[in-house]
Structure 1
Amino acid sequence: MPIPPAVAKFADLHPKPAHVRFQYGTAGFRTVASVLDSVLFRVGVLAALRSKKLDGKTIGVMVTASHNPEQDNGVKLVDPRGEMLDTSWEGHATVLSNAQTTDDFINELDKFVQAAKIDLSKPARVVYGRDTRPSGASLVAALEDGFKALGAEARDAGVTTTPILHYLVRAINTKGTKDSYGDDSEEGYFLKLSAAYKKLVATRQTPSPLIIDCANGVGAPIAARLVEHLGDSMPLILENTSITTPGALNNACGADYVKTSQKLPPSLDGRLQPGQRGCSLDGDADRLMYFYLDERSQFHMLDGDKIAALVAAFVVELVKTAGLQSQVKVGVVQTAYANGASTKYLSERLPVRCVPTGVKHLHHAAEHYNIGVYFEANGHGTVLFSPATQETLRDYQPSTPAQSTALEHLRSLNQLINQTVGDALSDMLLVEVVLAHKAYSGLEWDSLYVDLPNRLVKVVVADRNQFKTEDAERQLISPPGLQQKINELVRRYDGGRSFVRPSGTEDVVRVYAEASSRAQADELAFRVGGLVYDFCGGNPTTRPKEFI
């Protein structure tokens, strides 16, 4: 069956800009919004093809740039179980997005359809949403033209969070089956999370109010609806909720700001009191960063590593109390960005695996455990219960009241946690459950282990593709000789560790360093950054001052 003529007709309305190359990475396509019109149209076509290939299963499309500045935007596809797009399709997405003319696009499309053996007569179904960026509406219009070009049945989820879009995809595709994930609506999402949370804290003291920095993004209206569903069980104070103020999104607020600057968002100065817990979402509410002020009003960050340590230890404890330790193995997945102190803490308690940066790597590795906990240091993560483990939790017969209580808690956690993707609001409720059960304050949570001082810097390079890594991105194999120089530097620092990896979204190289003191971690990071700059043939007269 040939490519329908409507595809070329619509493609002419969305020409690709010259001299721009697009690449589908971990976060899908992401760049300045002004050049993305053609990409959104072609992703709409690709989403319809993906659905046809999978016999009409519903595919998700999310228009978002997450923690990026407001002028950026992006788009990513979601597979039927709410997981990231199958990696084998990423290359095809890149090829199709870079076809220069309509004729080129149709030719590439035809080749792809033939090679992938896609039956164009099959039905196509998609569900799509967007965040609050001003560019979202026009980009969604281009996306919708892609759906129309192949006659896809499309459902608009409107302005929503990335995790809710992922939830909807799985809920739609499992509706009416034994694996039903929940009602396929935003209301179904809120009911599922709030009911599980209330069960888990029913016998616990109501916590003190939690401040949520909503990053002036889509998390604000969604968190407001969550507040309604939680009622008195969880007092929340929403800050940075200005979703219509130009330039406010992710500006000096949000999870990425807290992680990279390691300080309180200025808008929360005077709002967060000593001893009070606070947390930050990012622009599409899939990352979560906690923090608190100590009695001297000193800021303390509780990042994804701290969340992983808190949650994993709690899950292991429940599994043991339920008498399931021989049947249910719990493991943690981290990346090289995980603080060395967190890795040590976790390794002493359960299996820990390191994988390359990127949600898809973490998610797939976590699936190999009965219960897999994964969190990136940036606050993106979740907990996965394998299908076999979910059956075990359903069928297991406890023999004591303590086992029965622990089993019920595990069943409720399985409902509370959004297992399709990292979800800041679901993760926030998970953290609050553990804190309530352990009667921990932020200080006691923070005291599980002491972070090694660390620093993350980036170096602008002409071509990030010259940097190649191995060993879960902890070792450089290209450019030749650079890793040896880094190793020599690291040996000079007490507790030193550093690695270099290319960004997946922009022409920069990221340098991470740890050492026994803040001054040494900073110095090591900047000196390694200087090495990277020099190896790229940088002009010494324009060498960044902090690398000197």
Structure 2
Amino acid sequence: MTSFGKVVEYSAKHPKPANTTFSYGTAGFRTIGDTLESTLFRVGLLAALRSQSKQGKVIGVMITASHNHERDNGVKLVDPMGEMLQQSWESYCTQIANAETDDEVVQVLTSIAQTENIDLSITPRVVYARDTRPSGPLLQAALEDGLAALNANATSYGVVTTPQLHYFVRCLNTADTPVAYGEPTEAGYYEKYGQAFLRLVDGRSQPSKLYIDAANGVGAPQVRKLADTLKSPYFNIEVRNSDTETLGKLNIDCGADYVKSNQRQPAGMSLEPGSRYCSFDGDADRIVYYYADENGSFRLLDGDKIATLVATYLRDLVSTANIDDLEVGVVQTAYANGNSTSYIKDTLKLPTVFAKTGVKHLHHEAERMNIGVYFEANGHGTILFNPSAVSKLQNATPQTPAEADAIQRLWNLRDLINESVGDAISDMLLVEAILICKGWSLAQWDAAYNDLPSRLLKVVVNDRTIFKTTNAEQTLTSPPELQDVVNSLVAKYPRGRSFVRPSGTEDAVRVYAEAATRTDCDQLAYSVAGAVFDRAGGRGERPDEFL
């Protein structure tokens, strides 16, 4: 039986900072990197325990803070199929991270083991990796102490993207089974997704060069390895913002979050009409595309645009394949642009549902669909084929060459996507394959629908916990009567829509608004923000722009 006897000894090397509270949220733990040493040690303990609770299946640990500033870092656990950690274990993460003494750490471990009825004689298996942040090696060493304290069979994958670690975990746990996902190596990752891409585009016209902003993060070396593996004119790329050595460059004035938030190209990218561009974020799990139109104006193709492109292509393939009861659906959040939702419902005639903000919520909704497409507007998303869809494809009996080709393309698409998590590299190959198969430019893709003008604001408040929502975070239930005020403001503007939701990380609320014109949109956003500030405990000086 594994004992917790070594835990106190190891834990003493990694004391918890005084007067600091840690919280495990949708993105795991995330804060200033040099405050996380004790947390990483304890995550190592918990990862080992999680593996034992899953009868020795491999659990993943990723050290990253994604699109955050370089000084930040974070960590999250990956469950056996490459999915996010089961929500019921998030509270265990928070509990152990905040244990004040070494003995209390042991008490928390003991309590979890008893509550979950865990067989401590099972050898834990854990794999881990990190991104390029300078605090990564120190935090990795703390994690390794935690794993050693519980005698885990632990393997480092070094510096890789977050989605690659998710992929490795899924591959390791499905090896030698009917649902084997691939080889759990970097080479296996490039081979699986690269070859699926080439099968889809074979015989088509070759695309123009794609300029990739890699946010000066781990996506830069990894996407170059893919290009070296493929050696194909169908994957003609040039990587910019690829400096992972110089301190202070990660995500600064570049990356998917910067481009999406600022509606402009990143540093190091001069846009030329007719050329094609995309941006990853710091750990390469988000992607957005963009281009300059004939007037030189910046045009963004965000997660909503990716979702509609993918849904259109899947709908057409499913129609051609002529398989009974095989359906495509789309999952969005309240942040999805209203015109994208209208396009999916009214033009594509596909079912769409709203989920709460956060990848795990979209993922769970997509699992309920035959073929579920989910993308957050920020560019994080993927496609899921549920077991029913896989069975229908396996049992399909095509009657024509066109049906056979469509079925094969659906299989190739499934091989092309990382079903465990949103993956900028895999999603880039997906978008590229669809555009090549359709023979579309970015402008042709963009022309499907026009986004409504939108605005996202932050209102600092005294207590975000008083804000309660329903209807996938689109409607306030508390504070009382505030939703009535929002409704009355929305009613003043054609195509108006606005919602208020509490931040998950700070005492602030987010106000989203959209309307038919930029002027109306901004007036609506600043009016709702003003109402929130005045009626729900705005903190500090009232911003001048609030109406």
Normalising by the smaller structure, the TM-score range is over 0.9
Cα separation, partners in 2 of 1:2 and 1:162, compared to 1, 3 Å: closer
SS in 1 for 2:329: strand
Deviations 1:339-387 (A, max 9, x none): 0000011012211010100110100110111110000000000001112
Residue 319 (str. 1) matches residue 313 (str. 2): no
Q: Map 1:295-444 to 2 at 5 A.
A: 295-324=294-323, 326-348=324-346, 349-444=349-444
User: Residue 220 of structure 2 contacts residue 242 of structure 2 at CA under 8 Å; is this kept in 1?
Assistant: yes
Q: Which ranges of structure 2 fall in alignment gaps of 5 or more residues?
A: none
1:274 maps to a residue whose letter is P
2:236 match: 235
How far apart are the structure 2 equivalents of 1:10 and 1:147?
10
User: Residue 362 of structure 1 contacts residue 374 of structure 1 at CA under 8 Å; is this kept in 2?
Assistant: yes
2:293 match: 294
What is the deviation of 1:539? 5.6
Measured on the aligned residues, the alpha-carbon RMSD in Å equals 1.4
What is the deviation of 1:3? 4.7
2:37 match: 37
SS in 2 for 1:480: coil
How far apart are the structure 1 equivalents of 2:8 and 2:515?
57
SS in 2 for 1:157: strand
User: Residue 456 of structure 1 contacts residue 510 of structure 1 at CA under 8 Å; is this kept in 2?
Assistant: yes
Deviations 1:510-548 (A, max 9, x none): 1111011112212222222222223343466x2223325
1:260 match: 261
How far apart are the structure 2 equivalents of 1:479 and 1:3?
49
How far apart are the structure 2 equivalents of 1:383 and 1:276?
27
How far apart are the structure 2 equivalents of 1:511 and 1:293?
29
What is the deviation of 1:486? 1.6
SS in 1 for 2:268: helix
Cα separation, partners in 2 of 1:314 and 1:539, compared to 1, 3 Å: closer
Residue 508 (str. 1) matches residue 508 (str. 2): yes
Cα separation, partners in 2 of 1:422 and 1:258, compared to 1, 3 Å: same
What is the deviation of 1:69? 0.8
Q: Map 1:171-190 to 2 at 5 A.
A: 171-190=171-190
User: Residue 2 of structure 1 contacts residue 110 of structure 1 at CA under 8 Å; is this kept in 2?
Assistant: no
Number of residue pairs matched? 544
Q: Which ranges of structure 1 fall in alignment gaps of 5 or more residues?
A: none
How far apart are the structure 2 equivalents of 1:506 and 1:61?
25
1:293 maps to a residue whose letter is A
Comparing 30-39 and 366-375, the one that deviates more? 30-39
Deviations 1:102-150 (A, max 9, x none): 1222222221211111111111001101111111110111111110111
Residue 7 (str. 1) matches residue 7 (str. 2): yes
User: Residue 30 of structure 1 contacts residue 505 of structure 1 at CA under 8 Å; is this kept in 2?
Assistant: no
How far apart are the structure 1 equivalents of 2:6 and 2:463?
38
TM norm structure 1? 0.97
SS in 1 for 2:244: coil
User: Residue 310 of structure 2 contacts residue 434 of structure 2 at CA under 8 Å; is this kept in 1?
Assistant: yes
SS in 2 for 1:120: coil
1:307 maps to a residue whose letter is I
Comparing 364-373 and 525-534, the one that deviates more? 525-534
How far apart are the structure 2 equivalents of 1:464 and 1:311?
36
2:97 maps to a residue whose letter is S
Which runs of structure 1 show a deviation greater than 4 angstroms over 4 or more consecutive aligned residues? none
2:132 maps to a residue whose letter is T
2:449 match: 449
2:283 maps to a residue whose letter is D
How far apart are the structure 1 equivalents of 2:536 and 2:435?
47
Q: Map 1:115-130 to 2 at 5 A.
A: 115-130=115-130
How far apart are the structure 1 equivalents of 2:176 and 2:2?
35
What is the deviation of 1:388? 2.9
2:520 maps to a residue whose letter is Q
Comparing 167-176 and 461-470, the one that deviates more? 461-470
2:218 maps to a residue whose letter is V
1:334 maps to a residue whose letter is Q
2:144 maps to a residue whose letter is E
Cα separation, partners in 2 of 1:475 and 1:3, compared to 1, 3 Å: farther
How far apart are the structure 2 equivalents of 1:536 and 1:105?
39
How far apart are the structure 2 equivalents of 1:485 and 1:267?
44
How far apart are the structure 2 equivalents of 1:467 and 1:12?
40
Comparing 226-235 and 67-76, the one that deviates more? 226-235
Cα separation, partners in 2 of 1:338 and 1:323, compared to 1, 3 Å: same
User: Residue 77 of structure 2 contacts residue 84 of structure 2 at CA under 8 Å; is this kept in 1?
Assistant: yes
What is the deviation of 1:466? 2.5
2:525 match: 525
TM norm structure 2? 0.97
User: Residue 462 of structure 2 contacts residue 537 of structure 2 at CA under 8 Å; is this kept in 1?
Assistant: no
2:38 maps to a residue whose letter is S
How far apart are the structure 1 equivalents of 2:82 and 2:57?
11
Comparing 411-420 and 110-119, the one that deviates more? 110-119
How far apart are the structure 2 equivalents of 1:396 and 1:537?
59
1:132 match: 132
Deviations 1:30-69 (A, max 9, x none): 1111211111111111100000011000001101110111
User: Residue 3 of structure 1 contacts residue 110 of structure 1 at CA under 8 Å; is this kept in 2?
Assistant: no
Comparing 162-171 and 232-241, the one that deviates more? 232-241
User: Residue 16 of structure 1 contacts residue 38 of structure 1 at CA under 8 Å; is this kept in 2?
Assistant: yes
How far apart are the structure 2 equivalents of 1:545 and 1:33?
34
How far apart are the structure 1 equivalents of 2:523 and 2:95?
41
User: Residue 2 of structure 2 contacts residue 150 of structure 2 at CA under 8 Å; is this kept in 1?
Assistant: no
SS in 2 for 1:119: coil
1:495 maps to a residue whose letter is R
Report percent identity of matched pairs.
55
SS in 1 for 2:545: helix
How far apart are the structure 1 equivalents of 2:536 and 2:22?
23
How far apart are the structure 1 equivalents of 2:428 and 2:217?
17
2:545 match: 546
